[in-house]
Amino acid sequence: MTPTVLESLSSAMSEDDATALEQAVEEQLAAEREAFEARFPPKAFIGVARALKIREPAIFARLVLSLRDDFYDFQLNCQSKWPSRDAEIRRLIELRDAANLLVSADLWMPLNPLAEADEEQFLATTKRLATFWGEELTKLEAAPSDVGRPSHNAFHELIIGLIRTYQRVARKRATRPSTRFNKRGYHGDFYQFAIAAWRSLRDHFPETADRIPYSKGALAEALRNHWPKKGTAGYKLILFNPR
């Protein structure tokens, strides 16, 4: 089997090169994490602390660390989900145009390391990719506008993190938002905590506004509808242990 370009590069890379590459990746990830956490200084969580009636600095520090972790995981989950419709259209345009550029008669320069047969195969494959991405772009542009919209799955996963953080910091079991007789809206201590956390996320990470509930009522419905059910892996993660 003919090795891929990545396999060829990997086999040619020395152990020192591989170590340096791994270190560079770790440094980049650390820098990205640091930049993300800079969006959420401690004052970003004052509203959450008030919702929990926190007065002790040590408990507030624990809250900040926990919510930063929750929000960072949410960011990573957003990146791993399907992109928005506009972002997907831009991506397909870039891929199609890049492939067309490679097969352009004016720009294509045969490289000595490539045999003539390999050059022909490369160009044929690139043309097929350009055609494929062009067709995918046409289908996406012709599809209904709701196709390609980001889902709220990442926020549904964040719900588990918020429940765990609440239970660790408040040291009591979280409960779903509830309704009360003759009182409008939803109620509950955890719900008030979730509102404050939602506001912090909305205010300091506005890029994900299309992936989180748009109002307090929508937040309550998301919490009620996606609360981990008994017997699921998510439910096991939120089991309350007061120790």
Angstrom distance (rounded) from CA 95 to CA 133: 7
Lowest model confidence (mean pLDDT) among 24-28, 48-52, 145-149, 201-205: 145-149
- CB neighbours (10 Å) of residue 110? 12
**101 to 96, 123, 128, 154: CA distances (angstroms):** 9, 11, 13, 36
Does pLDDT of 127 surpass 60? yes
Does pLDDT of 114 surpass 60? no
On whether the CB atoms of residues 221 and 91 are closer than 8 A, the answer is no
Does pLDDT of 16 surpass 70? no
Can you give the pLDDT at residue 203?
95
74-86: per-residue pLDDT in tens? 998 887 655 566 7
Identity of residue 19: T
The alpha helices in 46-152, defined as continuous H runs, are 46-52, 57-80, 85-102, 116-142
Can you give the pLDDT at residue 3?
47
- pTM greater than 0.75 (yes/no): no
Can you give the pLDDT at residue 98?
79
Lowest model confidence (mean pLDDT) among 60-74, 95-109, 182-196: 95-109
Domain ranges across the chain: 39-81+151-237, 85-142
Angstrom distance (rounded) from CA 36 to CA 47: 19
Can you give the pLDDT at residue 14?
55
**59 to 154, 191, 208: CA distances (angstroms):** 27, 20, 28
Query: Residue 183 forms beta bridges with which residues?
Result: 180
On whether the CB atoms of residues 170 and 63 are closer than 8 A, the answer is no
Longest dimension (CA), the chain: 81
86-112: per-residue pLDDT in tens? 777 787 788 888 777 766 655 545 555
Identity of residue 92: L
- pLDDT: which is higher, 239 or 110: 239
State the average pLDDT over residues 176-190: 87
Angstrom distance (rounded) from CA 148 to CA 151: 9
Angstrom distance (rounded) from CA 174 to CA 235: 12
Confidence of residue 151 (pLDDT cuts 50, 70, 90): low
